[in-house]
Amino acid sequence: MPDVPVMGDPGPTGRFGRFGGMFVPETLMPACIELEAAFRDAWGDESFRSELDALLQHYAGRPSPMTRCERLGAELGGVTVLLKREDLNHTGSHKINNVLGQALLAKRMGKRRLVAETGAGQHGVATATAAALLGQECTVYMGEVDMARQELNVFRMRLLGAEVKPASSGSRTLKDAVNEAMRDWVATVENTHYCLGSVMGPHPYPWMVREFHRVLGIEARRQSIELLGDVPDVVVACVGGGSNAAGIFSGFADDRCELVGVEPAGGAAVGGGVPGIVHGMQSFLKQDEFGQVEEAASISAGLDYPGVGPEHAHLAASGRATYPSVTDAEVIEAFQLLSRTEGIIPALEPAHAIAWVSRERASLRGRSVLVNLSGRGDKDVAQMMEILR
Amino acid sequence: MSAIEVALRSARDAGRKTLVPYLTGGLGDWTTALAAAADAGADAVEVGIPFSDPVMDGPVIQQANDVALAAGATPPGILDRLATLDIGVPLAVMTYANLVFRFGWERFASRCAAVGVSGAILPDIPLEEVGAWADAADTAGVATILLAAPTTPDERLDAICARGRGFLYAVGLLGITGARDSLASSAKVIAARAKEVTDLPVLVGVGIGTPAAAAEVCEVADGVVVGSAFVRRMLETGSPDAVGELVAEFRAALDAG
């Protein structure tokens, strides 16, 4: 098998080492092939790129800033901490980068309807937002359990004009929402684009979604050099499916930086999974001895996914990145730590990355660490109020 | 040539439209139901090995999967039971990639052959990814039954027919498994397109909910695969005899043409 350049083009079959591929029913194969060709064409087209850049700048608010955390760094005993502020984007997370790209691509392909899955609701809200902006129909599948946990995001999506449908089979969380979105797409593929929310699924999604998030990695590299005079020693991001991590890692893959993806202890696909095939891809997967997919359990609905994007599986297998995990208790501490020291309330997802930095403070002393603050914590405040009461 | 392909070809040569019922393994008294289906005129039977995330399946088969899994169904357990079964018609299995990948491509293929399973349908392994499995299956003498969909372009259909074994599974509509009240117009179209380019038996599945729809699509196709209608009967009644009665209704409709 030929070597794929680190975070480069995985080629027509979408392989990252032995991971990736296109494991979807035949009904969807022509759509995946068409999408790969359309993305390749659009990504090389100046007019598409400038239309997307204009939306990212004037609608989403890019570039997002980078914040140097003096008080947090001091509390950690002398760590230089930088935050990439994706929490300040429109809709409150990095997710908007990908959905604006995919919604524009859907329009270019003549598909009038978007279907999406969502866990915490961030990707669903972002997709509903892009659909409203571009005048597209939008259906979002969300696990019944998550709809109850994230009632406000359900309301937001409906306010934005999207239809929100419950995924009521299996564990009734993110993986089941993906199943339902794929089933919808099997029936509607002729006029519908599946706006997948992470670097997972069949080719070309893992590659395409990473490329739509590359913008944040490029910005972060430039901003790090402006602030530090150099790239940081360590780049850290949380990993569920792994889209925000893929975006920021892509900016530093060819540098000397250590790349660290932080998984939740209850959903550690790289740390606790074995190779498997689900949702269109070959990757690491939490599963039982027979191959039945196991449910993930984490404080963060956005990371409640038993698999991980195939490129992360490859980065782990090749040793380019490492994937430690943190516990819910460590995340709760980190959520408060960043709020108290910097006046920034993080989403529970990037609080995983902060938790790792906090735990590793001794070995990070004197070094520089860039954390992708992938989303803001507003959506999690009610849940944290209950936990901390 | 696999036992299932031999059976389906000889039925076609004899002018008989073929009926392949699907039942979920591990669901109630499923082995007796398979025998009842065979007695009622099935030409082969397809056994589903339940999976936690069946993306190609609608609510009825999803529910059957959940019930069977909760009752402790496992891939090796189902294959072991099939080894003890002699119902007089060929057996195929239908399941998803991960269960086979986890079992091991070669190991699963040889275990199928050992227990008398002569074909396998793995709907989330398309042509691009089928090599490792299909090579193992060919070596073991198990037919790799491939799907063709209404969205499949002509050149791709040729390639699928060339790599497929056993029969061509023509997906009758855009959508997941589940009985529909009437036949989708796409069903005869895909059957006719497939018949143009392959000598494999062409069976239409997905959405064939009634004996009348089965007979109608067999004006073009060589046969049908029917799943959700039988699985629903099994879920509702738990009675292998009731399943057999419904299989007999499909058989009668096909024989009446």
In chain A, where are the structural domains located? 15-55+95-205, 61-93+214-388
Both tokens of A32, joined, read: 């995946």
Distance of alpha carbon A97 from alpha carbon A101, whole angstroms: 6
- Pick from A27, A30, A186: which is nearest to B153 by CB? A30
Provide φ and ψ at A203, rounded to 5°. Answer: -55, 135
The helix, strand and coil proportions of chain B, stated in percent and rounded to the nearest 5, come to 50, 15, 35
* Residue B15 burial (10 A CB sphere; 0-12, 13-18, 19+): exposed
Residue A5, pLDDT above cutoff 80 = no
Helix (H) or strand (E) holding A144: helix A144-149
Q: Average pLDDT in the A58-83 region? A: 98
Q: Which numeric CATH code is attached to A15-55+95-205?
A: 3.40.50.1100
Give the count of beta carbons closer than 10 Å to the beta carbon of residue A133.
16
Residue A31, pLDDT above cutoff 60 = yes
Per-residue model confidence (pLDDT) at position A166: 96
B53 to A175: CB separation less than 8 angstroms, yes or no: yes
Both tokens of A56, joined, read: 């990212």
- Note whether B106 and B132 are within 8 A (CB): no
**Beta pairing class for A274-278 and A192-194:** unpaired
* Residue A386 burial (10 A CB sphere; 0-12, 13-18, 19+): exposed
Residue A365, pLDDT above cutoff 70 = yes
| pTM for the structure as a whole | 0.96
Give the count of beta carbons closer than 10 Å to the beta carbon of residue B32.
16
**With contacts defined as CB-CB under 8 Å, which chain B residues touch A189?**
151, 174
The interaxial angle of helices A29-43 and A205-228, nearest 10 deg, is 30
First to last CA, chain A: 54
Per-residue model confidence (pLDDT) at position A172: 86
For residue A63, say if its preceding peptide bond is cis, omega within 30 degrees of 0. yes
Residue A141, pLDDT above cutoff 90 = yes
In Å, how far is A130's CA from the nearest CA of chain B? 26
b/e burial code for range A315-352 (CB count within 10 A of at least 16 → b): bbbeeebebbbbbbebbbbbbebbbebbebbbbbbbbb
Contact residues of A toward B, CB < 8 A: 13, 21-31, 169-170, 175-176, 179, 182-183, 186-190, 275-280, 282, 285, 287, 289-293
Provide φ and ψ at A98, rounded to 5°. Answer: -70, -45
Which ranges of chain B would DSSP assign to H, the alpha helix? 3-13, 30-39, 59-70, 75-83, 97-103, 105-115, 131-140, 154-163, 185-197, 211-217, 228-237, 240-256
Q: Which residue of A has its CA nearest to B67?
A: A170
Query: Which amino acid, residue A315?
Result: L
**Which of B100, B129, B163 to mutate to test binding with chain A, by most A CBs within 10 Å of its CB?**
B129
Give the count of beta carbons closer than 10 Å to the beta carbon of residue B9.
18
- Note whether A96 and A60 are within 8 A (CB): yes
B55 to A25: CB separation less than 8 angstroms, yes or no: yes
Task: Name the superfamily (CATH) of residues B3-11+19-256.
Answer: Aldolase class I (3.20.20.70)
Chain pair A-B, CB pairs under 8 angstroms: 120
Give the rounded distance of the alpha carbon of A23 from its chain centre: 21
B124 to A23: CB separation less than 8 angstroms, yes or no: yes
- Note whether A64 and A222 are within 8 A (CB): no
**With contacts defined as CB-CB under 8 Å, which chain A residues touch B56?**
25, 183, 186
Q: Average pLDDT in the A368-387 region? A: 95
Both tokens of A143, joined, read: 């696990």
**With contacts defined as CB-CB under 8 Å, which chain A residues touch B75?**
290-291
> Which of A32, A58, A90, A94 is the catalytic position?
A94
- Note whether A91 and A129 are within 8 A (CB): yes
Q: Average pLDDT in the A182-207 region? A: 96
Residue A66, pLDDT above cutoff 90 = yes
Summarised one tens digit per residue, pLDDT across range A305-356 is 899 999 999 999 999 999 999 999 999 999 999 999 999 999 999 999 999 9
Per-residue model confidence (pLDDT) at position A296: 86
Distance of alpha carbon A119 from alpha carbon A131, whole angstroms: 18
Fold of A61-93+214-388: Rossmann fold (3.40.50)
Both tokens of A284, joined, read: 């690491």
Tell me whether 0.90 is exceeded by the ipTM. yes
Residue A4, pLDDT above cutoff 70 = no
Q: Is A69 a catalytic residue?
A: yes
Per-residue model confidence (pLDDT) at position A170: 79
- Note whether A244 and A199 are within 8 A (CB): no
For residue A204, say if its preceding peptide bond is cis, omega within 30 degrees of 0. yes
Residues in chain B: 257
Tens digit of each residue's pLDDT, chain B (257 residues) = 999 999 999 999 999 999 999 999 999 999 999 999 999 999 999 999 999 999 999 999 999 999 999 999 999 999 999 999 999 999 999 999 999 999 999 999 999 999 999 999 999 999 999 999 999 999 999 999 999 999 999 999 999 999 999 999 999 999 999 999 999 999 999 999 999 999 999 999 999 999 999 999 999 999 999 999 999 999 999 999 999 999 999 999 999 98
Give the count of beta carbons closer than 10 Å to the beta carbon of residue A15.
19
Q: Is B43 a catalytic residue?
A: no
- Pick from A170, A183, A277: which is nearest to B98 by CB? A277
The interaxial angle of helices B228-237 and B240-256, nearest 10 deg, is 150
Percent of chain A with pLDDT over 70: 99
**With contacts defined as CB-CB under 8 Å, which chain A residues touch B66?**
169-170
Per-residue model confidence (pLDDT) at position A136: 98
Q: Which residue of B has its CA nearest to A285?
A: B98
> Which of B5, B43, B57, B222 is the catalytic position?
B57
Helix (H) or strand (E) holding A117: strand A113-118
Check residue A87 and report its DSSP letter: G
Distance of alpha carbon A265 from alpha carbon A250, whole angstroms: 25
Distance of alpha carbon B170 from alpha carbon B95, whole angstroms: 17
Tokens 């961030």 -> residue: A122
Distance of alpha carbon B119 from alpha carbon B94, whole angstroms: 9
Helix (H) or strand (E) holding A326: strand A325-326
Residue A167, pLDDT above cutoff 70 = yes
Sheet holding A113-118, edge to edge: A163-167, A137-143, A113-118, A192-194
What is the three-class DSSP state of B195? helix
Q: Which residue of A has its CA nearest to B77?
A: A290
Per-residue model confidence (pLDDT) at position A2: 46
A146 vs B82 pLDDT, higher one: B82
First to last CA, chain B: 28
Contacts of A372 (CB under 8 A, 6+ apart): A83, A84, A86, A94, A216, A220, A235, A236, A237, A238, A244, A245, A247, A248, A350, A353
Query: Which amino acid, residue B105?
Result: W
- Note whether A293 and A387 are within 8 A (CB): no
pLDDT band at A3 (very low <50, low <70, confident <90, very high): low
Per-residue model confidence (pLDDT) at position A1: 42
